[in-house]
Chains A and B, each alone.
Chain A
């Protein structure tokens, strides 16, 4: 845009008229021209014969940057503090490749957008003076810039191609607002970068402590939060009874129906057979490894015990026997008792 240059704007309703005008202007040697259109048309692009854009170069550079960042980030940090996780090598390429892949695409996409914005000089706060709102609706605009003396010929071309309107546009000097907007964006980016750097510096220095004596746990004399319902223990609450008391006072609330016995059999097989064996005689597969052999539950001494006693031992454990309360809810324990009674009867009958 030199002094003495003028701009002409033709508004077209029809695409073919526009294309005709473009061809004629180019044939007449007018190079500084462009089009406003509501939609991208490849015919317009071809008529203006511009080459393929540079945006894809941004993409490529962004992608390479992303890939490099991915490799450096993952490999350098793994080597910086070598910690074996999952038995995998310190520099484990397969998972790192995934991170690399994602960062390649992320940086590539962001670079593409940046490339696009830079090339079309967006974002901009003010529109061009020759912009007409109809260009986003259904009109095409053809602007051509040329010297004062060439204006006449250009005007004639536009009119001959059936432009709806032809007008002269006054050109401003280089728009300072463009620069201002650019600087604004740059400023925002720099501030963002600063924030990120600051965070990266500050976050690790947050007042956390590695002194394990300072814990958020409940201290002595502190009032604890009550556990939410159904959270601890696994199912419902249960009053812990002493073995003697339980043996005398606790009654079996679950009738020995076939369903209960069957369920008890399943649970017995999972929880009890490793030690006590499938027939409850104390010859389970683990039994031979134990110093104190597991009880033979079909013996007199076991048969004599009350249901309450057996139930409590299952839940709280015995001298060597671990408590089974975690895996066996109270109801299930009674089912096991019922099943065991059945086993004992069978063994006694034989």
Chain B
């Protein structure tokens, strides 16, 4: 880390919160427009019924659930960067962890919309909560969908708590520099943080403990989401590798999304000194690793499908490769396991345009993977009599677009109301001011 003084860091990183220009408002307006369109589409579905979607027999889970899994996956690498890399003492995570953790919180908030969106009677969503219903029975704790409720709720609460905890010292920084209504706002948010040794001590302790708790949580959440599929005996779903395969895939797509977000962010806010090419390169290297895991998983599933001799399993794999959804399948196979290997070439992973472009490709590939796993298996189940075809309707596509807008809306607000790079943690990276050293 190059030598920067604390006050320089303060100045640079607080600049991101200055009143925005026209471009920001233009993007915000576009985002709100897409969001409004998505809300309209969903209320249409709400009033008219699920028939306006393409969902039917046999494919009852379509792009709503695919995108749900996609968003939960994205959330995972935020926690990887903020919690797991913290436990491994990777210093390079410091400037990027705030954005990554924000991505986690917003991604979980986006994903949490889907269990309600995809319900036929959304006003009954509270039936998923653990309470005693009429007739003295409770929710079915054996169901992986109920496990989902616990997992996603826990993940949201813990991530939000972790996110906010890490924010507090920075909020104090903002508070001390703010004036007017902002000062009151951030004074409230900063909760009275003063940076005493006592506060830092307990804060550091809590931070470490939260990171240690978040790590198994992250692995469990996407494992549980994968078990939504693996615990059923649908061919193509019932596979023991699903849990680690989904977790690796989640981190894979999440890292790509972090790149997609960080690259414009650092450009717009001129944070190139803080989010250096080395950071992006490290993310790219992690993507190579997760890409290899994806390739391993695809290879293993395919090989064991043959080895196991289960004709339904074999038929499903054949259908995926050459059937109705073959295009999505091949996008998935190439974008997730072959394209990341391009990052082995140093020139590619040091080039910002390449990083951005490939991160988009990987995200598309990962979404396609969720889609293929869910839809192709449902469309082509055990009995040929029950085979069908699913195509998403305009309602579904609009709602999905709306949820993407929802995610980016929170990001736009985050960028202006909170410091996108953790001021305190960047200060921890540089040399402290010593007599005879760098002058603050």
Contacts and interface: CB of A to CB of B under 8 A. Distances in A.
Contacts of A80: 136-138
A270 B384 contact: yes
Interface residues of A, number: 85
A108 B176 CA distance: 32
B428 interface: yes
Interface in B201-253: 201-206, 209-210, 213-214, 216-217, 220, 224
Q: Which 9 A-B pairs have the closest CB atoms?
A: A231-B51, A124-B192, A138-B6, A133-B176, A123-B191, A116-B206, A228-B51, A40-B200, A81-B137
Given A99-B147, A120-B199, A127 B192 contact: yes
Interface residues of B, number: 81
Contacts of B199: 120, 122
Contacts of A86: 142
A56 B202 CA distance: 9
B210 A52 contact: no
Given A99-B150, A127-B192, A137-B173, 6 more contacts: A39-B6, A78-B141, A113-B165, A116-B165, A133-B177, A225-B49
Interface stretch (A12-20, A238-246, A340-348): A12-20
Interface of A: 13-17, 34-41, 44-45, 48, 50, 52-53, 55-56, 59, 73-74, 77-78, 80-81, 83, 85-86, 88, 92, 95-96, 98-99, 101-103, 105-106, 108-110, 112-113, 115-116, 119-120, 122-128, 131, 133-139, 162, 181, 199-200, 203-204, 208, 210, 225, 227-232, 234, 270-271, 327
A35 B432 CA distance: 15
Interface in B268-324: none
Contacts of B435: 14, 16-17, 162
Given A113-B165, A231-B51, A102 B385 contact: no
Contacts of A78: 138, 141
Contacts, number: 236
B348 interface: no
Contacts of B384: 270
A38 B6 contact: yes
B428 A40 contact: yes
Interface string B172-207: 110111000000000000011111111111111110
Contact of A112 (B7, B134, B151, B213): B213
Contacts of B3: none
B440 interface: yes
B236 to A, nearest CB: 20
Contacts of A162: 435
B130 A120 contact: no
Nearest to A47: B197
Given A92-B142, A203-B126, A135 B195 contact: yes
A103 B197 contact: no
B437 A14 contact: yes
B154 interface: yes
Nearest to A98: B147
12 contacts: A15-B433, A34-B197, A55-B205, A95-B141, A105-B216, A109-B154, A116-B165, A116-B203, A122-B191, A136-B172, A137-B7, A137-B177
B61 to A, nearest CB: 17
Contacts of B260: none
A112 B158 CA distance: 10
Residue with the highest number of chain B CB atoms closer than 10 Å, among A119, A136, A204: A136
Given A109-B161, A133-B176, A40 B433 contact: no
